[in-house]
Structure 1
Amino acid sequence: MDETSTLRGARQSREGGITYFQSLSVAGFAATAISYGPGRMGFGLFVPEFRSAFSMSTSQIGFVSSLGFFGFFLGLLVAQGLLMRRGPQVPVLSGLIAATLGMSVVAVAQNVFVLAVGVFFAASSAGFAWTPFNDAVHRKVRDVDRPRALSEISTGTSVGIAAAGLAALAMVMMGLSWRLCWTGFAVASALALLANHAALRDVERDPNGIPEKGWRELLRSGALPLFVIAFVYGITSAVYISFAADHMLDRGGVPGLPAAATPGLVFVVYGLFGLAGLFTGRVKTAIGLPWLLRFVMLAGALSLALAAILPDSWAGLVPSAGLQGVHVMMTSAVLAVWSERLFPALPSLSFTAALLATAAGSVLGPAIAGVAADAIGTGATFLGVALLPAATAVLLRDRHASDRPLRVPAAMHG
C-alpha cells in the first residue's frame, strides 16, 4: 500500500464513523493492558496465594516464572513470523487466545504443573501484542497521529498492571478468592479478543514484508549495546516482578494496611509510576540517550536495593515499586525508539530482536534468583542482582549509546 492510499484510509471513516486511529488505539490499549498486565505480571502479583495453595518453594516460584517468560520469548518469535506472512490480526488474536486460555487454566489449577502451563500461555500473550500494532499503526495511521496512537497503546501496559493490582487489593479487602480474580482476567481477555477481531480484520499484511537476510543484518557490533541493555533490563525487571511483592509481604508489609494487601499495593504503584514512560521522548531530548540509559539502569538497581533494605516500610515500598515502574516503561520505550533509529530499514524486526534479548534475560533471571534466594535469602539476592544494572550504568560510555543508523546494504532496503 502506498502513502497516498494509507492516508486516504486513515482519513476515511470506517464502520460507524470510527477511524483506524481510533479503532487501533482502543484495540491496542486493550491488548497490551491484558497481555502486559495480568498476562505478564499476574504470576508475580499472586505469588503469595500460589505459594500457599501449592506449597511452592522459592526456587519453584523462580522456575515457573522463568517458564512464563520463556513463553514470552517464544511468542515474540512466532508473532514476527505471523506478522510477515499474515499481517497483524493473526498474531494479536493468537496472543489474546493464549491469554484467555492461560488465565482460565490458572483459575482452575489444582497443582503446580497445571499452574505452570497456565502461566506459560498467559505470559506468552505479551510476545504477540506489541510489534504487530507498531506495524498496523505505521501503515494505517497518518504521520501526525502516529505518536499519539502509539502512546495510547503503550499506556495500556501501565493501566493493565495497575488494574491487576487493584483486583488483588479488592481480593484481600473483600475476601475474594484468587481463582475468581483470574476468572475475571480471562473474561476481560475474551472481551479484548472480540474488540481486536473487529479492529484488525481489515488490516492486511505489509506487501513489502521483511528481507530474508534481515536477522543476519542485526548482528552488528554497533548494535551490541542495545542488546546488552535489553538483556540486563530483562533480568532486573523479571526478578523484581517475580519476587519483590512476595518478599515485602513476607516482611510484614507496610504500617496501616493488612499484610496481605502488599502485593496489590506494589503493582498499583508500579503501574501508576510506569506512566512516566509516556515522557521518555522529552527526557531523551533534554538529557540525551546516554544519560537516559544511565538513569533507567540506576532506577532499576535502586528499586531492587530498596526492596532488600526497606521491604516493610512506606519509604521503601513506594519508591521501590515506583522506580521499577519507571525503569520498565522508560526502558521499553527507549528500546523501541533506539532499535528503529539503528535499523531504519528493519524497524519491527530490530525491535523484536531487542525484545528477544529482554526475554532471554527474563528467562534466566528468575530461575537463578530463585535458587540463590533459597541459599542466601531474597534480600541478599536482590542486592546481588542490583549490581548488574548499576555496573551497566557505570560502565556505559557515550559512544556505546549512539543512535545513528547502522549501515545496511542497499539490497536490504527493497
Structure 2
Amino acid sequence: MQQCQVETEGPVGTAVERVGAVRLTTVGMALIAVCYGLARFAYGLFVPSLRAEFNLDATSVGAIASGSYIGYCVAVVLATVATTRWGARTVGVAAGATAAVGTGLVALAPSTPVLVVGVVLAGSSTGLASPPMAQAVATHLSPARQSRSQSVVNAGTGFGVLVSGPVALLAAGGQWRLAWAAFSLAAVAVTVWLARTVPSGGPAAATTGRVALAEVLPPGSGRLLLAAAVTGIGSAAVWTYGRELVSAAGLGDVTASVLWIVLGAAGLLGAFAGDLTTRLGPARSWSAAMLLLAAATVALALAPGQVVVAVLAFAVFGAVYIALSGFLLLWGTRVNPDRPALGVGAGFLLLALGQAVGAPLLGAVADALGTPQAFLLAAGITVLGALVRPRTQPRTERSSAVAGGGPGDQI
C-alpha cells in the first residue's frame, strides 16, 4: 500500500505527495458520501414511502430520525476515542461496514422495529466516519494541503445526497427497498476501497494514554459546541421533513426527488469552505452562512409549492449546510490541533445532538401547528446561531501559530 507522503522534498517527492493526497482525499470523500449522503440523510428523501409502508405519523418520523442522531452521538464518541488508539483506517473500515449493515437492514425491514434498528445503525456510521478521516488527513498530509483536503472530504455529503436522488427516481413505484439495497452495496465497495487506501499506523494509532479534560475541551471549545448544536437544531427541518413538505404542497414525488438532487449538487460547493474562511475570515463566513441557511428554510416554509423558490431554497441549503459542517470541521481541528479527531468529534457530536433534539421537536410542532410553522421555528433558531461567531486572533499571531503548528488559529 502506498503511504501518503508528508513534507517530501524534490519534484519527484512532490508528485508522490500529490498523488497520495488525491487518493486519501478521494476515498475519504467517498466514505463521507456513503455514510452521510446515503446511510443518514437519504432517510428524509424516503420519508413518504416509509410513512406509507409502516403507517408512521410526523412525530414517529421525527423520533426515528432522532434515534439515528443519537446513534451518531454514541458512535462519534466511540470513534474519537478509538481513532486515537487504533488509527484512522481501522475506525474508517468500521464506519463503512456499519453503513452497509444499517442500509441493508432498512432494505430488508419486515416491520417498524427492524426499520428503526436499520436507520439507527445507518445513521451511526456517520459518527464513526468523520473523526478518523479528519485524523488521517491531519496525520498524513502536509499542513499546506490539509484545509482544502478536509473541506473536500466533508463535501462528500453533498455527493452522496446527489447520488441518492436519481436512485430514488429509479426505484419509484414502491421499489424503495431496491434503493436501500444499492446503498448497502455501495457502502461495501467503499469500505474495501478504504481498507486498501488509507495508510495504517501514524501518531494517532500509537496514542494509548489517558486524555485530560483540557485536551478534549481546550480554549475555544465552548463557542464551537454551542454553534454546532444550534446548527443541528436549525437544519433538522429540511433534512427530515423537506421532501415531504414540498411533496405535500403539490410538487409531486418526481420533482421532490429532483430537488434532493439539486441539494446534493449544490452541496459539492461546500468543498470551498476552507478557501472561503481564508478569504472572508471565519467569523464573517459563519454568520453569513447561518443567515443563508435560515433564509432557505423560511423560503420553503412560505412557498413550498413554488418550483423556482423550492429549487433555489434547496440549492442554498445544500451548499450552505455542507459549508457550515466544513467550518465546524476546520474549527475543531484548529481548536484542538494536537488531537484533531477529538476536536472534530466534539463539534460533530453537538451537531448531531442538536439534530436529535430538533427532529422530534419540529415533528411535534408540525403535528400541532403545521409543517411550515415548524420550518419557521427552525429558521428562527438558526438566526440566533449566526450570533455564535468563532473568535479569530490577530493575523500576525495567527500566522505565526499556524506556521509553528500550534493552537493559535482558534477559529
Q: Under a length normalisation based on structure 1, what TM-score does the superposition of the two structures give?
A: 0.87
Name 1:402's counterpart in structure 2: 391
CA distance in 2 between partners of 1:230 and 1:148 (Å): 21
CA–CA separation in structure 2 for the residues paired with 1:267 and 1:285: 29
Quote how far apart the aligned CAs of 1:138 are.
2.2
1:243 counterpart (194, 219, 241): 241
What's 2:276 paired with?
A: 283
Comparing 147-156 with 272-281, greater Cα deviation is found at: 147-156
Residue 351 of structure 2: aligned partner: 358
| Equivalence for 2:365 | 372
Distance 1:50 1:289, change over 3 A: same
Change (3 A) 1:40 1:299: same
Q: Which residue of 2 aligns with 1:308?
A: 301
Letter in 2 for 1:48: P
Give runs of aligned pairs for residues 110-129 of structure 1, distance below 5 A. Answer: 110-129=110-129
Shift of 1:217: 4.3
Gaps of 5+ in 2: none
CA contact (8 A) 1:167 1:264 kept: no
Post-superposition CA distance 1:49-82 (Å, at most 9, x none): 0011111000000000000111111111111121
Q: 2-side partners of 1:239 and 1:380: how far apart?
A: 10
**Counterpart in the other structure of 1:232:** 230
SS at match of 1:252: helix
Report the equivalent of 1:189: 187
Deviation for aligned residue 1:83:
0.6
- The superposition leaves residues 297-330 of structure 1 with CA deviations (integer Å, 9 ceiling, x where unpaired) of 1122112211111111112211221121122111
Task: Note the C-alpha offset of 1:211.
Answer: 6.4
Q: d(CA) in 1 for partners of 2:130 and 2:286?
A: 21
**20 and 265 in structure 1: CA distance in 2 versus 1, 3 angstrom threshold:** same
Specify the SS of the correspondent of 1:402: coil
Farther off after superposition, 17-26 or 75-84: 17-26
SS at match of 2:297: helix
Aligned pair in 2 of structure 1 residues 130, 267: CA closer, same or farther (>3 Å)? same
Q: How far does residue 32 in structure 1 lie from its aligned partner after superposition?
A: 1.0
d(CA) in 1 for partners of 2:146, 2:384: 36
Give 1:263 deviation, angstroms.
3.3
Matched, 1:154 2:147: no
Residues 166, 261 of structure 2: 8 Å contact kept: yes
Partner of 1:200: 198
- SS state of the match for residue 305, structure 2? coil
Counterpart CA distance in 1 for 2:218 and 2:145 is 33
Q: Deviations over 1:191-222 (max 9, x none)?
A: 11111111136344525638634444454674
Aligned length: 393
With over 3 angstroms needed to count, the CA separation of the structure-2 counterparts of 1:331 and 1:210, relative to structure 1, is: farther
Unaligned runs of 5+ in 1: 254-258
Distance 2:109 2:5 in 1: 49
Match status 1:325 vs 2:314: no
1:212 aligns with 2:201: no
The CA distance in 1 between the partners of 2:216 and 2:104, in whole Å, is: 38
Partner Cα separation in structure 1 for residue 338 and residue 260 of structure 2: 37
Report if the CA contact (8 A) 1:296-1:326 is conserved: no
- Please state whether the residue corresponding to 2:392 is helix, strand or coil: coil
Query: Aligned partners of 2:203, 2:288: CA distance in 1, in Å?
Result: 38
Alignment root-mean-square deviation, CA: 2.9
- The within-5 A match list for 1:19-30 is 20-30=20-30
CA distance in 1, matches of 2:208, 2:371: 44
**Native 8 Å contact 1:136 1:203 kept in 2:** no
